[in-house]
A and B are shown apart, each in its own frame.
Chain A
Amino acid sequence: MAASSNGNFRVIGTRPIRHDGIEKVVGRAKYGADYSFPGMLHGKLLRSPHAHARIKSINVEKALKLPGVKAIVTGKDLPRAENKIEQAGEMAINPYYLSMNILAHDKVLYDGHAIAAVAATSPHIAEEAVRLIEVEYEVLPPVMTVDAAMKPGAAILLHDLRNKEEGNKETNVAQHHQFKRGDVEAGFKSADFIVEREFNTAMVHQGYIEPHNAVGIYNNDGQATIYCSTQGAFDVRSLSAQVLGVPVGKLKVVPAEIGGGFGGKTTIYLEPLSVLLSQKTGAPVKLVMSRAEVLRASGPTSGSKIKIKMGATRDGKIIAAQIWMAYEAGAFPGSPVGAGAMCIIAPYTIENLHIDAYDVVVNRPKTAAYRAPGATNAAMASETIIDELADKCGIDPIDFRIMNGVKEGSPQVVGPPFKRIGFIETCEAIKNSEHYKSKLEVPFRGRGVASGFWFNAGMQSSATVNIHTDGTASVVTGSTDIGGSRAAMAMITAELLGLPVNDVRPVVADTDSIGHTDVTGGSRVTFATGMAVYEAAQDAIAQLKKRAAMVWELKPEQVEFRDGEFLSGDPSKPPMKIKELSKRLARTGGPITGRASVNARGVGPAFATTCIDVEVDPDTGKVQVLRCTVAQDAGRAIHPSYVEGQMQGGTAQGIGWALNEEYFYDDKGILRNTGLLDYRMPTCLDLPLIETAIVEVPNPGHPLGVRGVGEVSIVPPPAAVANAIYDAVGVRMTETPMSPPKLLKEILKKRAAENAQSAAAD
Chain B
Amino acid sequence: MPIAIIPALLRKYTAGQERITVQGRTVREVVADLERHYPGIAAHLLEDGDLKPSIAVSIDGEIAPEGLLGPVDEASEVYFLPALGGGR
Contacts and interface: CB of A to CB of B under 8 A. Distances in A.
A367 interface: yes
A57 interface: no
Given A86-B53, A416-B77, A91 B86 contact: no
Contacts of A267: 87-88
A233 to B, nearest CB: 16
A268 to B, nearest CB: 10
Interface residues of B, number: 25
Given A92-B54, A414-B79, A599-B65, A334 B8 contact: no
B46 to A, nearest CB: 13
A737 interface: no
A266 B84 CA distance: 14
Nearest to A87: B53
B5 A336 contact: no
A457 interface: yes
B74 interface: no
Contact of A92 (B5, B7, B53, B81): B53
A138 B41 CA distance: 43
Mostly, the A contact residues are loop
B52 A85 contact: yes
A177 B47 CA distance: 18
A299 B63 CA distance: 27
A266 B86 CA distance: 11
Contacts of B79: 414-416
Contacts of A336: 86-87
A342 B84 CA distance: 10
A455 B84 contact: yes
B1 interface: no
B40 to A, nearest CB: 13
B88 A92 contact: yes
B85 A91 contact: yes
Contacts of A460: 65
Given A85-B52, A416-B60, A334 B88 contact: yes
A599 B60 CA distance: 17
Chain A interface size, under 10 / 10 to 19 / 20 to 34 / 35 or more: 35 or more
Interface string A440-484: 000000000000000101111000000000000000000000000
A452 B79 CA distance: 23
B73 to A, nearest CB: 15
Contact of B9 (A86, A92, A177, A418): A177
A81 to B, nearest CB: 14
Nearest to A603: B63
A134 B59 CA distance: 55
Interface string A315-357: 0000000000000000000111111111000000000000000
Interface of B: 5, 7-9, 18, 47, 52-54, 58, 60-63, 65, 77, 79, 81-88
- Which A-B residue pairs are the 6 nearest by beta carbons? A336-B86, A92-B53, A369-B87, A338-B82, A416-B61, A373-B86
24 contacts: A84-B47, A87-B53, A91-B88, A92-B85, A175-B54, A176-B9, A177-B9, A177-B82, A299-B87, A334-B85, A334-B86, A334-B87, A335-B86, A342-B81, A369-B87, A370-B87, A414-B81, A416-B58, A417-B61, A458-B63, A458-B65, A522-B84, A599-B65, A601-B63
Interface of A: 84-87, 91-93, 175-180, 263, 266-267, 299, 301, 334-342, 367-370, 373-374, 414-419, 455, 457-460, 522, 599, 601-603
